[in-house]
Structure 1
């Protein structure tokens, strides 16, 4: 049978806990029919469940004083992937508040939900989030197991002792998280790179024309990148601080649309000279998606400020690194007629990917286009190498001015 899971989020003033309780096991210990009409379980038995859970969770500080425990919410959810097969569980969120002078990093957890009646049951206890030690919710680590001790026939309390962290550790972890986010954010990078694809070219008779020169190209690239940074920084700040919440799916669809518009522009100029404003506008949309990573951290004001700064700085560093290893090759290729093929091919590829993503995000079903793009992203370093080789080849080949695009 499935076991319970206890996930702890360590914060300076409190510990929040998420309990994941399988209904079949809970029914044996709770003494009520929780599986019948389980979708309405909280409505039917919410008061009794709350009293039961609070009766069996007792954290105690290092000075022997009991912490205050409050229950925030309960929700029944299905679990599909498990060794025990599909089942339903009750997810419970608790807040554990220590007494004055007690650290949230050192306490004793007296816990026997379900286990007090079902002696074969056990609970895996893990730390899911610990900002001061650079631990995000994606990489929890186990601190112990609560189960019946057979020799003594007792349920022994779990000693929770977590090493002291620091603001610097938390900040650098957010920096790394921002770098990782943009590294894996294929759609964010594709929008920016597609918008930069024609940035080295002049416009002649409403067509992309010849290379505008190194100075011209660098100024345009700087303006576009800066505008995109300013745009997403604004909405990242607004979203992460909780001033405004953004709906997830519409944002993801708009991000795919932004790639399609930049792809059309890379194929044929539709807003020449106004790329900076397009980058800033769609940067606002991309920043809404970035904010989702931070909004659920529930940090105090100081740590949230450091998180926003570190995360945004990480995004910029990785973004600038990727641009730095790609743009020089694009500038070199812009001297040659080869660039027209690269620009048109890149625009068509980006446009196809954007349409695939839009369909995928509207229907909530994966498709072959989205899967192919994500698979190709795994070979990004080889694509950059091919681009570099092509640029070196074009540099030594006879140069001709770029014909009209």
Structure 2
């Protein structure tokens, strides 16, 4: 069995790029990974980085890039720390490291400037997670996104809401939107507000907050005074936990708490470690295809190797790596333009996502990307809608 060729060479003291001073032996292909490996989003970033490592290990053990005489994939890891300005400088360092393509970034606020810098440098950039519509709306040729955009998340939520509302004798009619205030949460909240009336959902209030906040008491007091049927939540892990626990400490219980692209409710650690807070929580989000045998194998391999569960974010990073490597294989070249052109022609069927073939439109958006409705039952998140991916029946209203 071939050994995995990952960059483990220490980074220079003035750089967050691990192994940027590595001298290639001529039989390896460098790809870059840029995620939050430190700071408030480090847990999620490290999970995503590990999924990319797993994907690379599988390819290398299977013989590497066959069209390039078995060249091994070499991962150059970069830490943007959750900072937009670091997104730009780390792309520049990855450019200097001569990567063929980049995968990232988890944060839309980092993805926007990072992909702009990659476009300027002509580096193919596969966005694993980053929901802001603008990411693929700027006419860029080198940016490709795996996950659904914000407007798609919102549309999927409202469609699912309408369908499951028909199944209950007590339809839910009012909502309060709570979201972290970066471009990520703000774009989702904006899209829901723009479409809610069409689906007969009344939004009573939209309450933004900083993901780094230490106090959501004002938000929670506002929710309890308005008494909505639903609390809609777009957060990261820390503030998502704070919101749910804060609501549970009040006398008000909404009929449903539903995440829309929620970074907490589909987080593997939240699902397994927050049993007192998470029962029956719903989340309209990307996930792994529960009907896929290949997805099961990947989950088991990830758990065995890293002793942690493969969450939705990591699943998309895994597939982003596979898609980028597939493009390099088909290009038969490390020329960045050739790889970009191969990405444009992607038609990837053997994947682990709840969608049809992975294909990109002229803007670089994965045209079949979709969110599903997940619900947490006893430390497991299950797909409850749509029916083609459904694992169990949903509980709705949840309370």
Q: TM-score, normalised by structure 1?
A: 0.27
Larger radius of gyration between Structure 1 and Structure 2:
1
Q: TM-score, normalised by structure 2?
A: 0.27
